[in-house]
Amino acid sequence: MATRYTRDHEWIRLEGDTATMGISDYAQEQLGDIVFVELPETGKQLAKGAEVAVVESVKAASEIFAPVAGEIVAVNGALADQPGVVNSDPEGEGWFVRLKVANAADVDALMTIEAYQEFLQTI
């Protein structure tokens, strides 16, 4: 499935009933050098819009929110030792969590890459 985006600059990619999520290239660029990523425990239930993670950069700390509801089934433990991966590969190896999605239609309701790029032009 294609990657979808939120107005808060999170991305999510659904594969079956599990989705991988992180922050967009635009978001990591705005944050600057990322020095720490606080991730949740697996098994945590998230409501759509709930805080998933906290990212600290040299500029600020920012909360990252769940684009859809679901249960965390995996976290990217590599970010504990290498938070800079979020800067170098935000939509690949810099992923944050994997969720068992409660409702796949919620993913479809998010922005396509084209819609997200148009949205970025308005910021």
From the list 79, 69, 102, the residue with the least C-alpha distance to 23 is 79
pLDDT in tens, 55-74: 999 999 999 999 999 999 99
In the chain, the DSSP E strands lie at 3-5, 10-15, 18-23, 34-38, 45-46, 51-57, 61-65, 70-75, 97-101
Domain that holds residue 71: 3-120
CATH number, domain of 42, equals 2.40.50.100
Ranges of residues in the chain with a pLDDT under 50 are none
Query: What total of structural domains would you count in the chain?
Result: 1
| C-alpha separations of 115 from 47, 105, 110, 121 in Å | 24, 17, 9, 10
What's this model's pTM, rounded to 2 decimal places? 0.95
Cβ(39)–Cβ(79) below 8 Å: yes
